[in-house]
Structure 1
Amino acid sequence: MERKKLLFTPEILTLNALLLASTLSLIFMNSLVAEPKALFGRSLTAITPSLFPSIVLSLMAVMCVAALLMLRNRVTSLAAVGMNRKEWLRAVIFFGIMLLYGFTMEPFGFLISTAMALSLISLQMGSRSPIQIILVSLAGPVLLYLAATRLLAVALPELNTIELFYARLLS
């Protein structure tokens, strides 16, 4: 009975889902990462656009396997009580925010959709400071966008006006 209970805890199910998602993403990486917007469709840097996502997904898969092994060997303890109704509601709301984020990425671009998602997640996590929400929602996506597009040469979906603004600002 203990073995069956171990297989169906929220932690185990989440770890298995993340492991499956990261493994499938690694397998189909060429279909998931767009070529950079550059001369003749090729990046002029030595870094391929799929390098950073591959590193992150590989680390996520390794951490999921390690956590599953620790749970199996009882190095870590499982929660004694299942999730209550409030926790399930928070999980469903978080899943809804992530779906909204995924659906708005292409039409709104990376910066706007990420700022919206981070604002909603900050509110869901209990943050009520407008300054903190604005800083997290604006500074984080801008820095991540600049690091990904300028340093790692990863093409992120973005509105043309925002891309032109950055091109003028950084040239």
Structure 2
Amino acid sequence: MNKYLLGLVFLLFIFSSCSKDEDFANELPGYWKQIAAYDNGELCSTDKEENLSILFEANGVYRMFDPCSEKEHAGTWLVTDEDWLTMSMDKIAGKNTSDNSYRYTPVTVRFTIIRLDGDEMELRIKTFLGERKKTIMFSQMEQDPQLTTPEEALELDAKNKELHIYAYQFRRIH
């Protein structure tokens, strides 16, 4: 009976320690620098965008340092379902008229972790161009121009509904 219980405890220990979620969640904390961004396989990052960096803290908080806007953005992160990285970002939703402070709204973005080994990480997301523009994700991009005709509005709407696969490569720097 003791051997049976000991064997059962041993098996439970082995199976509970084999979670890939835990592996990625334990490997992610650190300071990461973006080294490349791809749009449907085509390199689409600029030198300035490649200086974007993210500090993933072990407590589920991240801080992204954006060289394009020269600002820091904070949010939360969580690894689930073996290879999903869910990141929340706060986006300005407007200004309060009473005290002139900003109102924020949360935006959640879910990436697939393609590779996370040692000091290299690659994330992928499949989304519409318009959604990427709305969340800005990891690299700045040109926002929609001011439109003058209904035809231009329809053309822009069709373009923003194009499905793209974006890949972001990072290297750990600390």
Q: TM-score, normalised by structure 1?
A: 0.29
Higher helix share: 1
Q: TM-score, normalised by structure 2?
A: 0.29
Q: Which structure: larger Rg?
A: 2
